[in-house]
Chains A and B, each alone.
Chain A
Amino acid sequence: MTTTTAPAAGAVAPRQHAPVRRPSLLRLTAVELRKLVDTRAGRWLLITIGLITAVIVTLQLIYARDAEQTFVNFFTPSLLPIGVLLPVLGILSITSEWSQRTALTTYALVPRRERVVVAKLIAVVLTSLASVLASLAVAAAGTLVASATGGAGTWQIDASLILNAVILQVTGVLMGAAFGLLLLNPPLAIVGYLLLPTLWGVLGEVVRPLRGPSEWLDTSKTMEPLFSSDAVTGEQWGRMAVSLLVWMVLPLAAGLVRTLRREVS
C-alpha cells in the first residue's frame, strides 16, 4: 500500500516564502461549504433535502385536486420537512469537528477559532438560502407541469411568503448551529435542539401558569404565523424575536464562548 521513497532533495527544505497573509473569511467560508459536501453523510443530507422537495411536488401533481395545483401550494409544504433537516446540517457542521476530532487540524491552521465559527455560520446560512431557491425552482417546475396537465398552474405568490420562508430556514439552521456550538456533541445537540423548545409547548399545555411564557418561548408556536397567508402582526414578530433570542441568540453567544475556551485534543 505504502511505498517508501527517499525524501527527494529539497522537497522538505524549509523555504523562505513571501510574507504570509491570514486566510480571508471568504476562503474559510469556501472551505466550510466544501466540508458540507465532501463526506457521504453531508452529501446525503443535502440530496435528501432536494429529494423531499421533488417528492412532495410530484405527489401533489398526482393526488392534489386540479384547483389546488398552484405555485404557492407546491412551495409551502416542503418548507417544514426541510426546516427539520437544515438544523441537523447546522448541528453537524459544528459538532463533527469534535466528534471526528478534525478540530485539532482546523484550529491548528486557524487558531482564531471565532473566524472558523463565523465561516461555518455563513456557510450554513448560504445553504439554507439555497434550499429556499431549490424549493422555489421545484415549485416552478411543478407549476409548469400542472398547467400543461390541466391543473390550476397559478403563479401568484406574495413576496412576504418567500421572505417568511427565508426567515424560517435561516433561523432554523442558525438555531441548530447554536445548539451544536453549545453542546459540541452531535447526538446531544440534535436531541437538545428537537426537544428543548418543544418541551415548552408540552409544559405550556400541562402546567397552567406556564401557558403564558410558552406563548413566547415555544418556537413551534411563535414561528407558526410564518406559514399562514395572513400578514404577521407586530405582536407575532415580538414573540418570534423573544423565542429566537432565547433559543438562537443566547445559545450562539454561550456556545461561541465555550468553543473559544475549550481544550482541543
Chain B
Amino acid sequence: MITVQNLTKRYGPHPAVDDVSFQCEPGTVTGFLGPNGAGKSTTMRMICGLTAPTAGRATVSGHAYRELPNPGREVGVLLDASAQHAGRTGREALTLSAYTMGLDRREVAAKLDLVGLNAVAAKRRVRAYSLGMRQRLGLAQALLGDPRVLILDEPANGLDPEGIFWMRGLLRDFADRGGTVLLSSHLLREVEAVADRLVVIGGGRIVAQGNKDELLAGGGTLVRARDGAALRRALDAAGLTAADSPDGLLVQADAEAVGQAAADAGVALAELRPADGGGLEQLFLTLTAGESTKEAVR
C-alpha cells in the first residue's frame, strides 16, 4: 500500500511536482504515466525519502519511508538502473544489499536466477552490462528482500520486447499474490498491458487517474456505416452526439446504445467497436506535445 498526499516539490520557482495525491492498493499494478519531465521520478524519490518534499507527505505500508526499520524488506525500489558502481560485479552489488538487509546469501543467487542473469553475467563488472542487464540487476535488487511493495521507475527502458513481456508477467504475478506495484513509464502502450490503474501526470500535476478500463473506455464508441448520412441522422434522433473521425463516427456512448440507435433507424452497420486508447491516448498526446519543449534534462 502506497499513499501519496498532496506531494509538492519546487526547484526554484518551478514546481516539478504540484499537489500530487494518489493511492496504490495491495493486489494492483498502478501505472504512473507521463511524458519526460512530468515529475514521475521526483514523485517516486519523494516517496522513498530520497528527496525532501516542499509540501505533502507519502507513506508506504502506513509509515513514512524513513520510519521503516528495514525498508528493503517492505518495499523494493528501482529508481535508476544505471546507478550502480561500475567496478563491482552484479553479484557483489546484490551481496552488499543482502548483507545490509540481513538476508541469507542464498537469496542473491536465487534472485539473479529469477531475473535471468546467469553465473557468467553475475561475475562480470556492472561496467560491462547493457542497459537491459542493469534493469534486470536492479529488479533483482528490488525483489531481494521479498518486499510487499515495488516502486519501479521506467523499468522497461533498455529491455528487449521479450524482456518487457517477461517483466509484465513477473509484476502481474507479484500483484496477483497481494503485492502492490507502482511503475512509471512515458509510454502508454508499455503500462497499458499490465496496469490495473493509471495515474497520469503532466507538468507536475495529475491530469487523470482511475481504473485503466474506465480511462481507456473514455474514448467512446467508433461506428461506421456505408450510408454515413443516415447513420448520423439515426444518432441525432437517439440524442447521441457524434464526431467525425478518420475511421468513422466517434460517439460518446457505449456500443449497445449506438447499435440500438442504428437498428431503430434501420441503418446497416459496417463496424461497431470501442474507440481504441481513445480519450486517454488523446490526452496523453496533448500532454506530450505541450511538454516536449521542456524535455527533461534528467
Chain A interface residues (CB < 8 Å from chain B): 1-8, 11-15, 17, 20-23, 27-28, 30-31, 34-35, 38-41, 96, 100-105, 107-112, 261, 263-265
Cβ proximity bits B86-97 to A, threshold 8 Å, 1 near / 0 not: 111000110011
Residue numbers in A under 8 Å from B117 (CB-CB): 2
Given contacts A2-B118, A4-B166, A14-B149, 13 further A-B contacts (CB under 8 A): A2-B121, A4-B163, A5-B114, A20-B70, A21-B70, A23-B70, A34-B96, A102-B85, A105-B84, A105-B93, A108-B79, A109-B71, A111-B66
Query: Top 4 closest A-B pairs, CB basis?
Result: A101-B83, A39-B87, A264-B50, A14-B179
Max chain A C-beta neighbours (<10 A), residue from B69, B100, B116, B173: B100
Q: How many residues of B contact A (CB 8 A)?
A: 63
B67: nearest chain-A partner, CB-CB = A111
What residues of chain B lie closer than 8 Å to A3, measured between beta carbons?
116, 118
* B215 adjacent to chain A (CB < 8 Å): no
B162 contacts across to A, CB distance below 8 A: 4
A263 contacts B52, CB within 8 Å?
A: yes
Find the A residue at minimum CB distance from B80: A104
A38-B68 CB under 8 A given contacts A2-B136, A13-B177, A263-B50: no
Q: How far is the CA of A12 from the CA of B73 in the complex (A)?
A: 13
| B146 partner residues in chain A, CB cutoff 8 A | 13-15, 17
Task: For the complex formed, measure the closest distance between the CB of A258 and the CB atoms of chain B, giving whole angstroms.
Answer: 13
State whether the Cβ of B15 lies closer than 8 Å to any Cβ in chain A.
Answer: no
- The one of B96, B110, B143 that contacts A31, using a Cβ cutoff of 8 Å: B96
Q: What residue in chain A is nearest B102 (Cβ atoms)?
A: A23
A97 to chain B, nearest CB (A): 9
Closest to B84 in A: A102
> Within 8 Å CB of A34, what residues of B?
96, 99
CB-defined contacts of A40 to chain B, threshold 8 Å:
87
With both beta carbons as reference points, the residue of chain B lying nearest to A265 in the complex is identified as B45
Q: Are B50 and A7 in contact (CB under 8 A)?
A: no
Residues of chain A with a CB closer than 8 A to B149's CB:
14
Determine whether the beta carbon of B100 is less than 8 Å from that of A27: yes
Measured between beta carbons, the chain B residues less than 8 angstroms from A12 are: 114, 143, 170, 173-174, 177, 179
Nearest CB on B from A176, distance (A): 20
Contact A111 B71 (CB under 8 A): yes
Which chain B positions have C-beta within 8 A of A30? 99
B65 at the interface (CB under 8 A from A): yes
- Indicate if the CB atoms of B133 and A2 lie closer than 8 Å: yes
Residues of A within 8 A of B83 (CB): 100-105
B contact residues around A41 at 8 Å (CB) = 87
Do residues B69 and A22 form an inter-chain contact, with CB atoms below 8 A? yes
Known: A38-B92, A101-B83, A104-B50. A109 touches B100 (CB 8 A): yes
Report the Cα distance A30→B173, complex, angstroms: 35
Q: Would you call B77 an interface residue if the criterion is a C-beta within 8 Å of the partner chain's C-beta atoms?
A: yes
Is there contact, CB below 8 Å, between B70 and A111? no
Q: Say if the beta carbon of B285 comes within 8 Å of chain A.
A: no
Chain B positions 111 through 143: 1 when the CB is less than 8 Å from some CB of chain A, otherwise 0:
001101110110000000010110010000101
B125 to chain A, nearest CB (A): 9
**Please, which residues of chain B bring their CB within 8 A of the CB of A112?**
66
Beta-carbon nearest neighbor of B82 in chain A: A101
Give every chain B residue within 8 A of A103 (Cβ-Cβ): 83
- Interchain CA distance A27-B65 in the complex, whole Å: 21
B298 lies within 8 A of chain A by Cβ: yes
B259 at the interface (CB under 8 A from A): no
Q: Closest CB of chain A to B157's CB: distance in Å?
A: 15
Most buried by B among A4, A15, A101: A4
**Complex-state Cα separation, A194 to B92, whole angstroms:** 32
Give the chain B neighbours of A1 by CB distance below 8 A: 118, 120-121, 130, 133
A28 and B101 CA atoms in complex are apart in Å by 9
A27 to B177, CA, bound (A): 32
Nearest CB in chain B to that of A264: its residue: B50
Q: Is the CB of A108 within 8 A of B77?
A: yes
Contacts of B136 in A (CB 8 A): 2
Contacts of A15 in B (CB 8 A): 146
Q: Do residues B69 and A7 form an inter-chain contact, with CB atoms below 8 A? A: no
Q: Name the B residues within 8 Å of A109 (CB-CB).
A: 71-72, 97, 100-101
* B174 with A21: CB separation less than 8 A: no
> Across the interface, which residues of B come within 8 angstroms of A263, CB to CB?
45, 50-52
Of A4, A31, A100, the residue contacting B100 (CB under 8 A) is: A31
| Shortest CB distance B277–A (Å) | 28
